[in-house]
Structure 1
């Protein structure tokens, strides 16, 4: 009986974190309230503290989940194409129209990066860990991985992809949005070696 209750509590906790991970990408950290998240998870507001000691603890788990989903997306791409095609495939997927429109399920860094400096340390720590994972994943796909400058090129690649996606989402002109994503892809192409 205790195992069933523990599994049920874990499943409920997971539902809350999933709802929060979507909500922060959709509405930002400050636009994400506990009551709304609990409602989205199909629960009452009163049950929140049975799962989290604070709103910040929930946001940290949500940031970790959202960042992890972006890394997992890139890992799936890496596993699905030949090694020499991984980095271009990652770039195309990240800067695709589909990813542009998938704010709620897409890259948390592109959705939340400008809010990060004002977040609690545990939220920033979770986001930083996932950003570092993304950089490391890109670095490992580089043709010159392990050579001097490879890590710096990965930093540049991730920063360019995230920045281009942020700007492409920010503008209200579809042609400019497309141009920003296409220009980033074109400028990143020489980094492939």
Structure 2
């Protein structure tokens, strides 16, 4: 049976979405080609009809992860009063629910050390993804000038990423919530 081009595009997107969840949940090696293809109901050999290499899958999967979290944070920010938009982002990012679901969260909290050690050939691509993420969040950041918003972005996101990473290491939800609440309270009072 022959499938139309839209079928191939749908399967491709399904593979990317699954790999995106896997790399956030299990790390960069979690997106093993065999596991991703099995989850998509395809054979390992079918992989090369969609991707030239595993690195290509990883790059698309990271892009999907950044897009998903940016969409979620932008949605929450857009629901708030414009001056409170950045606070909505902080509240979403530093929530216990977000912390508990690494597979659907920000790739920075799940993969920062791995991304820092990534193959040098991937670094320019990672940098471009980070720039797009920053650009998407910048309109919601506090400050009047672009330079002020950029400083706020780096301060706010560095604090949030670190807090979530630390909280995820703790064994009990109450302990995790204390770390998140401390960071949340600090940020909400700081700008």
Aligned to 2:28: 29
Q: How does 1:33-182 map to 2 (within 5 A)?
A: 33-121=32-120, 123-146=122-145, 148-182=147-181
Given that residues 160 and 183 in structure 2 are in contact (C-alpha distance below 8 angstroms), is that contact kept between their aligned partners in structure 1?
yes
Which TM-score applies when normalising by structure 1?
Answer: 0.89
Deviation at 1:150, TM superposition (A): 3.2
Total equivalences in the alignment? 191
Q: Which is worse superposed, 53-62 or 5-14?
A: 5-14
Aligned to 1:183: 182
**Distance across 2 between alignment mates of 1:6 and 1:25:** 29
Aligned to 2:18: 19
Given that residues 71 and 130 in structure 1 are in contact (C-alpha distance below 8 angstroms), is that contact kept between their aligned partners in structure 2?
no
**Distance across 1 between alignment mates of 2:105 and 2:122:** 18
What's the secondary structure of 1:104's corresponding residue?
A: helix
Shift of the 191–58 alpha-carbon distance from structure 1 to 2, 3 Å rule, reads: same
Q: Does 1:10 align with 2:9?
A: yes
Q: Which is worse superposed, 24-33 or 56-65?
A: 24-33
Which TM-score applies when normalising by structure 2?
Answer: 0.90
**Distance across 1 between alignment mates of 2:102 and 2:6:** 30
**Distance across 1 between alignment mates of 2:71 and 2:125:** 15
**Distance across 2 between alignment mates of 1:20 and 1:148:** 35
String of CA shifts for 1:62-117, please: whole Å, max 9, x gaps.
01001111111111112212212211111000111111111111111111111112
C-alpha RMSD of the superposition:
2.1
Given that residues 163 and 180 in structure 2 are in contact (C-alpha distance below 8 angstroms), is that contact kept between their aligned partners in structure 1?
yes
Q: Structure 2: which 5+ residue stretches go unaligned? A: none
Q: Structure 1: which 5+ residue stretches go unaligned? A: none
Shift of the 154–145 alpha-carbon distance from structure 1 to 2, 3 Å rule, reads: farther
